[in-house]
Amino acid sequence: MVDLPNGRLKASDLMVDFLSVAPDTSVNDTLKLIFKNNAQKALVLDDGILDGIVTTYDFMRNIQWGKDDIESMSISDIMTPIVYTVFCEDNIRHVIDMLYHRGVRSVPVLTDGMVAGTVSRKQIAQLFADKYAANYKAKDLMTKRYTTCNVHATLHDLFAKIDAYGDKYIIIQAEDKVAGIVTSTDILKYLYRQPEKNSSSPVKEIMNKCKYTAKKTDKCADIAHIMLEHNVSGVPIVGKRLHGLIRFSCFLQFLDLEL
| In a domain? residue 256 | no
How far is it, in rounded angstroms, from Cα 203 to Cα 61? 17
Q: How far apart are CA 187 and CA 206, in angstroms?
A: 7
**Cβ-count burial 241-257 (b if 16+ within 10 Å, e if not):** ebbbbbbbbbbbebbbe
Domain membership flag for residue 47: yes
Domain boundary among 131, 164, 182: 131
Instruction: Tell whether 109 and 185 lie within a shared domain.
Output: no
What is the pLDDT, as a whole number, of residue 96? 93
Name the domain boundary from 85, 114, 131: 131
Residue 258 lies in a domain: no
Q: Residues in the chain with pLDDT < 70?
A: 1-7, 64-69, 195-198, 259
Looking at the fold, whether 64 and 108 belong to one and the same domain comes out as yes
Give the pLDDT score at 219.
94
pLDDT of residue 156: 87
CATH code (residue 225): 3.10.580.10
The set of residues, in sequence order, having a beta carbon less than 8 Å from that of 146 and lying 6+ positions away, is 167, 169, 171, 234, 244, 245
Residue 253 falls inside a structural domain: no
Find out whether 242 and 176 touch, Cβ atoms under 8 Å: yes
Same domain, 81 and 145: no
Is 100 found in the same domain as 54? yes
Residue 57 in domain? yes
DSSP 91-114: BHHHHHHHHHHTT-SEEEEEETTE
Residue 254 domain flag: no
Q: State whether 22 and 107 are in the same domain.
A: yes
Provide the pLDDT for residue 136: 94
Structural domain containing residue 240: 136-247
Regarding whether 126 and 151 lie in a shared domain, the answer is no
Question: What element of type H or E holds 117?
Answer: strand 114-120
Compute how many other C-beta atoms are within 10 angstroms of the C-beta atom of residue 146: 18
| Residue 212 in domain | yes
Domain membership of residue 257 (yes or no) is no
If asked whether residues 75 and 191 sit together in one domain, one would say no
- Of 247, 83, 249, the residue nearest 170 (C-alpha): 247
The type of residue at 197 is K
In sequence order, what are the beta bridge partners of 237?
214, 244
- Secondary element (H or E) of residue 198: none
**Is the same domain home to 233 and 158?**
yes
Q: Contact at 8 Å (CB) between 93 and 99?
A: no
pTM of the model: 0.86
92 with 181, same domain: the answer is no
Same domain assignment for residues 236 and 190 = yes
| Number of domains forming the structure of the chain | 2
| pLDDT at site 6 | 45
120 in the same domain as 157: no
Cβ neighbourhood burial of 49 (10 Å; 0-12, 13-18, 19+): exposed
Q: Same structural domain for residues 92 and 173?
A: no
Q: Find the angle CA(227)-CA(160)-CA(157) to the nearest 5 degrees.
A: 90
**Separation in Å, CA 73 to CA 24, 59, 67:** 9, 11, 12
Q: Where a domain ends, among 101, 131, 161?
A: 131
